[in-house]
């Protein structure tokens, strides 16, 4: 028998043995994972089934096998499966059990991460919106109402997936408890409650683990769970595991999320990570017998309304979840893929016989499609609610979409007046008597504008879109619509008519049957057209060019492709060919602004993910005059990259904090800060979910997207860095959201900053 035939035979046997009679354990004495008693290094590929069209599931799994992976890692997304309370759906695109069986079919093991919170840059971190109908609920806590719903959901997950654990002959070898809880808070009793729920749902014999960062994993570490670390490209691997090695010197080591790239946010530059650093980190782990899961191996697409938002502040994520991963958004291997494959094949000759599969469909450019039918936004309305004060979407039992808040101004104003909507969640187009006045944008902290002079009886309208709910940090209780009073000229405005526009394909279709569809150019509303696939225009993957449109969503044959927004950096939407019909196809666009020109959409053969458009509104851009401020502390920063704390000599009050970066350790370096916290008099962080960037001197985009928001994004692996060659000192101004009594600063530098001064106001 030839060597190749022997390998083929062994691979066939391996695939068959991922079926029955297998065992898996975390050997905490020998310091290794064991599969059927033998040491086993987990090489996992993170994939998310909702981000991959079901017809493409098997192809993406095959791509991971050909890469040299032996395991698939996945989240279970609660809000996908329980869209309305008490109604569960694990069918079709939601059939996570079938996704696991496909992995097993190809000889791959599975790690399941059932939350209940998952983060993942996903709407509300996977938590269902209807939890927010409880006005006082505390998410990710021992709040009985929350845990009761968690138990109900996890029991359903258990019905689907517990029969597929390794002890039952299935591929599931590990199950995670909660997710990165240390970045949210310290409540080990809550984590223990989730652990018990997961065990009781049928995962009582499989290995359970919890993941966190090296800086915070001790906050919630449970003695009976395996501990794993999350970190990304460019990290010092040995340092990330140093503390874990001290506490558990014989535990198996695993990086449960090794970040291959990063996610994009609307209005910010496209994110990438170097292939060399990614591959070097994985090679380093393999050389030391450390297991890993590559997050993401294939990111895919946050179709529909499922893209979330980051915090502090409010930073909504784009639709594409390409993530600069080894397998790109539409399933094609990148340079990262082949470079990583060469490393994984060194120790896994069986993968050499798994050829990289061809994509299911080719990529082609669809011809231009004119959307000749038009329907106004109000034609899709389901109801109008009358209320003395503004109500949130959740209070009106709407999870996703937009609403028109309308009220009458009772008094004449001979001069301009201020409109203030501090609770604008998240984007609003303001009109007065049908005339467009301006735009509010929570992402840029623009929540007020000037209204022109007007007569009594003028009609004020705010078209408010709720974008993705925050998926990270303490701000996940992110209600939509208007969450505060609306203030005009210093007084609350009362007596509102609120017209609901739910985000649903069925409502978009209904809009065209409810009105005359004669097109109105360049107006907000719904646009519809058709195109044909035939022998000339074959069914293929394509990318819809949305650069000539404003802001909205797209459906093709009822499939929600996701959000677009002219501010970029994403200017296209991925249209999988499996969503197309042979013959006629329907395309509907909901645009909250209106197209710039004729309502035409063309297909491209490549996506545009890195082109910023003109921002609608800008953040503050005035450099503060330092002579008007008081220096309250000088900070001598050590050369390391560990958290450092600096205390004021006495407590002071302030809302705005200026960090004046004065010196660097190495000439030519630019000052950089990974994370910044302002602390109170007890040394506790003043709520970072309310921080926003008020001003920054410069930002570096030559070595990555190192913008100022990275200094307060709660992500230790990202950073703000001043522009290369920028003249020192460099200023960074943080708005704490309100005045606080301040006791000092906690700083996570990157090794370049040597000294800084703190000013307060």
Residue 422 has what DSSP assignment?
Answer: T
Cis peptide before 129, with omega less than 30 degrees from 0?
no
Distances (CA, A) of 524 to 436, 507, 527: 11, 16, 9
Instruction: Using CA atoms of 498, 500, 501, 503 in order, give the dihedral in degrees to the nearest 10.
Output: 130
Separation of alpha carbons 328 and 343, rounded Å: 19
The per-residue DSSP string of 561-623 comes to: EEEEETTSS--EEEE-GGGPPSEEEEEEEEESS--SSS-EEEEESS---S-----SS----PP
Asked if residue 686 lies in contact with residue 678, where contact means CB atoms within 8 angstroms, the answer is yes
Separation of alpha carbons 669 and 706, rounded Å: 14
Q: Pick the catalytic residue: 58, 156, 180, 675? A: 180
Separation of alpha carbons 70 and 62, rounded Å: 11
Q: Pick the catalytic residue: 58, 154, 178, 257? A: 257
Token pair listed for 724: 């290369």
Asked if residue 587 lies in contact with residue 601, where contact means CB atoms within 8 angstroms, the answer is yes
Separation of alpha carbons 444 and 702, rounded Å: 23
Token pair listed for 368: 């231009």
Separation of alpha carbons 23 and 34, rounded Å: 8
Residue 257 appears among annotated catalytic residues:
yes
SS (H, E, C) 676-715: EEEECCCCCECCHHHCEEEEECCCECCCCCECHHHHHCCC
The backbone region for 714, taken as left when phi is positive above 0, alpha when psi lies in -120 to 50, beta otherwise, is left
Residue whose C-alpha is closest to residue 551's, from 331, 394, 334, 319: 319
Instruction: Phi first, then psi: give them for residue 534, nearest 5 degrees.
Output: -150, -160
Token pair listed for 96: 């996570």
Instruction: Phi first, then psi: give them for residue 724, nearest 5 degrees.
Output: -60, 130
Asked if residue 561 lies in contact with residue 573, where contact means CB atoms within 8 angstroms, the answer is yes
Separation of alpha carbons 61 and 66, rounded Å: 9
Residue 62 appears among annotated catalytic residues:
no
The catalytic residue positions are 180, 257
């Amino acid at each position: 028998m030839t060597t190749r035939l022997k390998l083929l035979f062994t691979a066939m046997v391996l695939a068959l043995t991922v079926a029955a009679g297998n065992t898996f354990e975390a050997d905490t004495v020998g310091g290794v994972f064991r599969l059927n008693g033998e040491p086993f290094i987990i090489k996992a590929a993170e994939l998310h089934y909702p981000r991959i069209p079901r017809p493409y599931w098997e192809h993406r799994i095959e791509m991971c096998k050909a890469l040299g992976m032996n395991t698939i890692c996945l989240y279970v997304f609660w809000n996908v499966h329980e869209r309305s309370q008490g109604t569960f759906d694990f069918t079709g695109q939601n059939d996570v059990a079938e996704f696991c069986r496909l992995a097993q079919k190809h000889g791959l093991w599975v790690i399941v991460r059932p939350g209940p919170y998952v983060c993942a840059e996903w709407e509300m971190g996977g938590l269902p919106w209807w939890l927010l109908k409880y006005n006082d609920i505390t998410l990710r806590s021992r709040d009985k109402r929350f845990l009761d719903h968690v138990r109900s959901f996890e029991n359903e997950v258990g019905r689907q997936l517990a029969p597929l654990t390794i002890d039952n002959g299935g591929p599931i070898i590990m199950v995670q408890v909660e997710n990165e809880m240390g970045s949210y808070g310290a409540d080990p009793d809550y984590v223990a409650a989730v652990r018990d729920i997961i065990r009781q749902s049928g995962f009582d014999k499989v290995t359970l683990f919890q993941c966190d960062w090296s800086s915070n994993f001790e906050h919630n570490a449970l003695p009976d769970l395996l501990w794993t670390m999350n970190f990304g490209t460019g990290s010092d691997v040995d340092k990330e595991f140093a503390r874990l090695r001290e506490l558990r010197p014989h535990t198996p080591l695993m990086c449960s999320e090794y970040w291959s790239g990063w996610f994009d946010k609307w209005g910010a530059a496209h994110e990438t990570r170097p292939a060399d650093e990614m591959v070097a980190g994985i090679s380093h782990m393999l050389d030391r017998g450390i297991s890993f899961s590559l997050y993401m191996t294939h990111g895919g697409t946050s179709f529909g309304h499922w893209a979330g938002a980051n915090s502090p502040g409010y930073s909504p994520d784009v639709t594409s979840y390409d993530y600069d991963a080894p397998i790109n958004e539409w399933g094609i291997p990148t340079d990262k893929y082949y470079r990583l494959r060469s490393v994984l094949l060194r120790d896994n000759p069986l993968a050499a016989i798994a050829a990289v599969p061809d994509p299911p469909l080719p990529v082609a450019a669809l011809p231009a499609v004119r959307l000749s039918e038009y329907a106004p936004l109000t034609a899709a309305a389901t109801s109008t609610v009358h209320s003395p004060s503004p109500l949130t979407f959740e209070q009106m039992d709407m999870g996703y979409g937009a609403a028109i808040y309308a009220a009458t101004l009772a008094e004449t104003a001979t001069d301009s007046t201020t409109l203030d909507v501090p609770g604008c969640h998240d984007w609003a187009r303001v009109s007065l008597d049908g005339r467009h006045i301006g735009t509010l944008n929570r992402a840029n902290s623009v929540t007020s504008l000037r209204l022109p002079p007007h007569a009594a009886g003028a009609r004020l309208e705010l078209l408010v879109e709720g974008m993705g709910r925050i998926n990270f940090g303490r701000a996940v209780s992110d209600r939509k619509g208007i969450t505060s009073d609306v203030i005009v000229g210093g007084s609350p405005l009362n007596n509102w008519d609120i017209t609901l526009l739910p985000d649903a394909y069925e409502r978009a279709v209904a809009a065209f049957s409810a009105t005359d569809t004669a097109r109105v150019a360049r107006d907000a509303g719904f646009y519809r057209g058709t195109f044909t696939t035939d022998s000339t225009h074959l069914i293929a993957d394509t990318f819809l060019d949305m650069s000539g449109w404003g802001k909205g969503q797209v459906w093709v044959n009822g499939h929600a492709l996701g959000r677009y927004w002219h501010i970029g950096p994403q200017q296209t939407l991925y249209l999988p060919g499996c969503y197309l019909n042979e013959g006629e196809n329907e395309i509907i666009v909901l645009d909250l602004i209106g197209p710039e020109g004729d309502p035409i959409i063309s297909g491209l053969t490549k996506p545009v993910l890195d082109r910023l458009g003109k921002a609608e509104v800008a953040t503050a851009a005035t450099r503060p005059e330092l002579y008007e401020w008081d220096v309250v502390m000088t900070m001598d920063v050590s050369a390391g990259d560990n958290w450092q704390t600096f205390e004021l000599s006495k407590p002071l009050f302030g809302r705005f904090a200026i960090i004046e970066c004065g010196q660097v350790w190495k000439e030519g370096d630019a000052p950089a800060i990974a994370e910044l916290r302002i602390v109170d008099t007890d040394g506790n962080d003043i709520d970072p979910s309310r921080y926003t960037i008020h001003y920054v001197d410069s930002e570096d985009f030559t070595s990555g997207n190192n913008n100022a928001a990275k200094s307060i994004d709660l992500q230790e692996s990202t950073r703000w860095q001043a522009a290369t060659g920028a003249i020192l000192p460099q200023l960074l101004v943080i708005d704490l959201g309100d005045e606080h009594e301040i006791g000092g600063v906690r700083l996570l530098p990157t090794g370049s900053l040597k000294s800084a001064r703190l000013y307060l106001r």
